[in-house]
Amino acid sequence: MPIIYMDGPALTKEQKAELVKNLTRVASEVTKIPARSFIVLIEERDRDNVGVGGVLLSDKK
């Protein structure tokens, strides 16, 4: 089973549902693998736990 990983900011349940639906649809169309075979894993990162360029995202404006 193909796995799609999404690592990013916190999302609402509605955003997650839309993301899972669309990622699965597009991946299925491109690969010709049935949509039912895909697993989508969402990992949410708090801005306090991500640094870019030596600065926490929570400290960036």
- Interval 1-52: pLDDT, tens: 999 999 999 999 999 999 999 999 999 999 999 999 999 999 999 999 999 9
CATH of domain 3-59: 3.30.429.10
Q: Which two tokens stand for residue 15?
A: 């955003």
**Tokens 């993301």 — which residue?**
19
pTM above 0.85, yes or no: no
Cα 25 to its chain centre, rounded Å, is 14
Q: What pLDDT is recorded for position 61?
A: 74
Cα–Cα distance measured from residue 14 to residue 52, given in angstroms and rounded to the nearest whole number: 28
Residue 27, H or E segment: helix 13-31
Mean of pLDDT values over 49-57: 94
Please state the separation of Cα 31 from the chain's center in Å.
Answer: 19
Strands 3-8, 55-56: pairing is unpaired
